[in-house]
Amino acid sequence: MIWFAIAGRCGAGFTLLGVYAWRRKKPMWFWSGSTVEEAQIADVPAYNRANGRMWLAFSLPFWASAILGFWSEALATALVAGN
């Protein structure tokens, strides 16, 4: 249950970040602190959708690991560590 809570929260956080990026009107930033000027992007909605898909794809191993943890903690850990 502890693994499910931790991995599930990580997955939820990245999923919410992806949805936020997908719906954002201005260009989405990156965690590294770098920002992208709106003038540098030809299609801001397409850029934000791609950024949102990136975060959603990053959340998938955490969701899978949370569910897999009920059967095998070692496989669940390996899935996240290999991410």
Reading the chain (83 residues) residue by residue, the pLDDT tens digits are 777 888 888 899 999 999 999 999 888 877 666 777 788 888 899 999 999 999 999 899 888 888 888 888 777 778 777 75
Q: Please report the pLDDT score of residue 68 as a whole number.
A: 83
Q: Which candidate, 62, 66, 60, 63, places its Cα nearest to that of 3?
A: 66
Q: How much of the chain is in helix, strand and coil states, percent to nearest 5?
A: 70, 0, 30
H or E element at residue 56: helix 44-68
Task: Tell whether pTM > 0.85.
Answer: no
